[in-house]
């Protein structure tokens, strides 16, 4: 297994899938709380953190499956944040036999039609490349980062994004491969017990994804008041409370 991973605690396994533009440090404050009761596996996705760069077209879903095989985990609780939530949802649809419970935190969703405003925002970030500091400034100016940018965790958020962007400039051309049909067309097939968590201070598109989950799946939905997209860093105790309550229900 060439992906970098870390294990904390003992007990039933929980696998954490970090957000895009970040690495396993996304779970810095959540892992110690979960590790009191569970064996917690966090890992750096390919091209992130301490994991190697992509060398060709890749599937984040298949990478996760290989990691579980390497660790001899046949059934796990799966928690994904942002793009990690997208990976976790797709994985749960493709390989439900591996997942006992699914928790997605402000997830992206394959096949979902994002607004032109969201596309324009992403284009503004890439338009100033290769000026990394300007890319970070524009990215973090979105309403979904106002809380974390005003918190003591601004430095960690910016450092993860800076590290990620530097890595991106080194990547060869490749394509991300996702399962078909996309998850947006298959949410009704989601048989795994699911919890959807989102902060109230989010981009409209992310809130619309929450509504989409409500309408097209049996997921339980929880909102964390005053939290933005980086709820994992700013509200770990509250996040842990909802996760623990869900898993013990």
Residues above pLDDT 90, as percent of the chain: 96
At 249 the pLDDT is 83
Q: What confidence score (pLDDT) does residue 173 get?
A: 87
Contacts of 53 (CB under 8 A, 6+ apart): 46, 47, 167, 170, 171, 172
Q: Residue ranges of the domains in the chain?
A: 5-248
pTM: 0.96
Q: For the segment 170-226, what is each residue's pLDDT rounded down to a tens digit?
A: 888 889 999 999 999 999 999 999 999 999 999 999 999 999 999 999 999 999 999
Classify 9 in phi/psi space as left (phi over 0), alpha (psi -120 to 50) or beta: left
Alpha-carbon distance 13 to 200, whole Å? 29
The pLDDT value given to residue 144: 95
Give me the chain's average pLDDT, please.
96
Q: Which tokens in the block code for residue 39?
A: 């064996």
**Residues 26-44 pLDDT 10s:** 999 999 999 999 999 999 9
What pLDDT does 217 receive?
96
User: 5-248 has which fold?
Assistant: Rossmann fold (3.40.50)
Q: What is the mean pLDDT of residues 93-116?
A: 97
- pLDDT exceeds 90 at position 231: yes
């Amino acid at each position: 297994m060439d992906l970098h991973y870390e294990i904390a605690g003992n007990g039933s396994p929980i696998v954490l899938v970090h957000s895009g533009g970040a690495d396993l440090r996304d779970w810095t404050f959540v892992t110690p709380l979960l590790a009191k009761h569970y064996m917690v596996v966090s890992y750096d996705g390919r091209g992130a953190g301490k994991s190697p760069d992509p060398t060709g077209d890749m599937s984040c879903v298949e990478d996760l499956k290989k990691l579980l095989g390497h660790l001899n985990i046949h059934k796990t609780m799966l928690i994904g944040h942002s793009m990690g939530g997208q990976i976790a949802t797709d994985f749960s649809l493709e390989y439900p036999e591996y997942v006992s419970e699914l928790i997605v935190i402000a997830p992206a969703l394959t096949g979902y039609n994002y607004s032109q405003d969201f596309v324009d925002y992403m284009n503004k970030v890439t338009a100033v490349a290769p000026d990394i500091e300007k890319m970070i400034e524009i990215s973090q100016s979105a309403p979904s980062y106002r809380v974390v940018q005003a918190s003591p965790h601004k430095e960690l958020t910016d450092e993860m994004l800076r590290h990620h962007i530097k890595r991106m400039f080194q990547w060869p051309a490749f394509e991300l491969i996702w399962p078909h049909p996309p998850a947006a067309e298959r949410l009704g097939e989601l048989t795994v017990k699911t919890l959807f968590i989102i902060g109230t201070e989010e981009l409209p598109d992310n809130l619309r994804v929450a509504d989409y989950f409500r309408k097209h799946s049996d997921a339980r939905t929880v909102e964390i008041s005053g939290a933005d997209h980086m709820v994992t860093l700013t509200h770990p105790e509250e996040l842990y409370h909802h996760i623990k309550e869900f898993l013990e229900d």
